[in-house]
Amino acid sequence: MFTVEQHIRINRPVAEVFGYVTNPANIPRWRADVLGITGTDGSVALGSQFEELVNFMGRKTYTMRVVEYQPHRRAVIQAILGPGVRPTQTFEFEPSDTGTRFSVCAQVRTAGMFRLIEPMMPGMFKKTWRQYLANLKRILEG
């Protein structure tokens, strides 16, 4: 298991950033490797589940569950089904003098062949999440 943490300041109100990030329909817009989302109407609550079709070393489908949900403060989304790489993503939202400080902590469990390449994965995930956050900032501030 490994952990990757990133944060960014977004010049938009917390409610807007929270609403955008926690709407599964928006995920493919700011995370380019997510090809599609199914199983949701766009709203989430504690216990909600949806599927992500991801392009990560080939196409893979992950079932995600919202395991913590505190409106405008925190959301935790965990991969409960899927091959090899299972992240738990903790999103935190804090007001800042310029809008919102958005933080993500991805705890990633690996299994099978992915354990063999796990030592290389933290760097890959850190770079990937840095790009995700840059995309998110560009979209929300654009």
pTM of the model: 0.94
Task: Give pLDDT tens digits along the chain (142 positions).
Answer: 999 999 999 999 999 999 999 999 999 999 999 999 999 887 789 999 999 999 987 899 999 999 999 999 999 999 999 988 899 999 999 999 989 999 999 999 999 888 999 999 999 999 999 999 999 999 999 9
Residue 136, Cβ density class (10 Å: 0-12 exposed, 13-18 middle, ≥19 buried):
buried
Are 34 and 28 a contacting pair, CB within 8 Å? yes
Instruction: Show the domain range for 50.
Output: 2-141
Residue tagged 């989304």 (tokens): 77
Distance CA 54, CA 24 (A): 13
Whichever domain contains 53, its CATH number is: 3.30.530.20
* Residue 86 bridge partners (DSSP): 109
What's the domain count of the chain?
A: 1
